[in-house]
Structure 1
Amino acid sequence: MTTDPGEAPHVRARPRVRPRLPADLDGCVAVLALVHTHSGYPVDLPDRPATWLTPAALLAAWVAELDGRIVGHVGLCGAGREDTAANLWDGRAAPAVISRLYVSPEARGHGVGAALLARAAGAARARGLHPVLDVVATDPAVFFYERLGWRLLGTADQRWGPTRTVPVRCYAAPRTAARATE
């Protein structure tokens, strides 16, 4: 029996998640533009995406790489008064907000989103905080978080500017780390 090298079985690459460096911002912005075009996240693409990726409350951020290319991003922020999910959190530990989680369309299905989410949630727990997040209620990412065992805290209308509100679903991480699979 002979094997044609052109028909070798497809090997799924595993994502490498590492802390985001200042030099990564251009790559993160490029992936964000692709994600926005493909799936509409974020709903309103910011005029200054690098600034959007570095909010004042940012505690840490990570990127995911496949084959040395940035294909995803996540941030961990301290909770503020206007963080909807943090306001719905009812646990003992103070909350930390998972934010700016996105994965390049071509990298989906490789466990990138779950690996980024697990890294940020683990970092929150290491700080004695409990991870929470919110997602636009109609976003398909709702199913991703629910599949990984995130608990629905509730829904709310989140204010996005002086005249606009958007319905969001707010989640808390499972009490134990979810498996990092997609």
Structure 2
Amino acid sequence: MNNDRVLIRTRTAADDEACVAVMRRTHELDAYPIYWPSSPAGFLRAKGETDAWVAVDEADGRVLGQVALHRAEGEPVLALAQEATGLPAERLAVLARLLVHPDARGRGVGRALVRTAAARARATGRRAVLDVLQSTTGPAALYESEGWVRLGPTSLDLSDRGFGDVPPLQLWVYLAPEAG
């Protein structure tokens, strides 16, 4: 998929360093991820990942962003998504780790990554769901402009993830539009 000289391709291990750099810059400016992980590359390649892509500037080869799909296993989005769709967990895919370098914003990078991941979920018989911090407005506006439906709130307890004594994350859960 091309978009304003941006190529979306499968993420490889060779992209890890560049993806971590994008995540670091996003964290510095937007506090996403809200807590910096002890293993940044491990955070990006989280357990349950089934597919992942990067957005690359065709002119200079720079990685501009990334996104992944994960199996819906123990995710906070799972209960709301199953209730809304009636689908079993294996028919859901969690869109996660959407990152766009701040310098690349406004070029359609995030939109292209979201569309790529949602299309892959549909092509494999799954429906994409995601969660996003309630305190952010930009990502939610992107999802809503793409037809994603806000299902409701949930929270994510991070107490067992090595971040110390931090409050649970307050999240919105979104469901991708049906194919058609």
* TM surpasses 0.5: yes
SS in 2 for 1:55: coil
Question: TM-score, structure 2 length as denominator?
Answer: 0.86
Question: Is 2:169 aligned against 1:166?
Answer: yes
Question: Which residue of 1 is the match for residue 96 of structure 2?
Answer: 99
Counterpart for residue 77 of structure 2: 85
State the 1:92 CA deviation. 4.5
Over alpha carbons, which structure has the higher Rg? 1
Aligned-pair identity in percent equals 36
Q: Name the aligned partner's letter for residue 106 of structure 2.
A: G
Aligned to 2:155, which of 147, 157, 168?
A: 157
Distance 2:78 2:92 in 1: 6
Paired with 1:148 and 1:104, the residues of 2 have a C-alpha distance of 20
Deviation at 1:142, TM superposition (A): 1.5
Q: How far does residue 13 in structure 1 lie from its aligned partner after superposition?
A: 3.0
Q: For residue 157 of structure 1, report the CA deviation from its aligned partner.
A: 2.1
2:173 alignment partner, SS class: strand
Instruction: Map residues 118-157 of structure 1 onto 2, 5 A cutoff.
Output: 118-140=115-137, 141-157=139-155
SS at match of 2:85: coil
Provide Cα deviations, 1:30-53, integer angstroms capped at 9, x if missing partner: 111111111111101112110111
In structure 1, runs of 5+ residues without a counterpart are 1-11, 178-182
The runs of 4+ residues in structure 1 deviating greater than 4 Å are: none
Q: Does the 8 Å CA contact 1:86/1:96 hold for their aligned counterparts?
A: no
Cα pair 1:14 1:111 within 8 Å, conserved: no
Say whether the 8 Å CA contact 2:6–2:55 is kept in structure 1.
yes
Cα deviation for residue 84 of structure 1 reads 1.6
Determine helix, strand or coil for the equivalent of 2:179.
coil
Mapping 1:1-182, distance limit 5 Å: 13-66=4-57, 67=59, 68-81=61-74, 83-89=75-81, 90-93=84-87, 94-140=91-137, 141-161=139-159, 163=165, 164-176=167-179
The 1-side partners of 2:134 and 2:113 are apart by 21
Q: Tell me if structure 1 keeps the 8 A contact 2:52–2:69.
A: yes
Distance between the aligned counterparts of 2:56 and 2:174, measured in 1?
26
Shift of 1:95: 1.0
Q: What whole-Å deviation, never above 9, does each CA across 1:39-80 have from its counterpart, x for those lacking one?
A: 111101112110111112000110001131100000100001
Supply the distance in 1 between the matched residues of 2:85 and 2:4 (Cα, whole angstroms).
37
- The unaligned stretches of length 5 or more in structure 2 are none
Map Cα deviations across residues 91-140 of structure 1 (whole Å, 9 max, x no partner).
14421100000100010111100100111111111111100000010112
- Number of aligned residue pairs: give it: 165
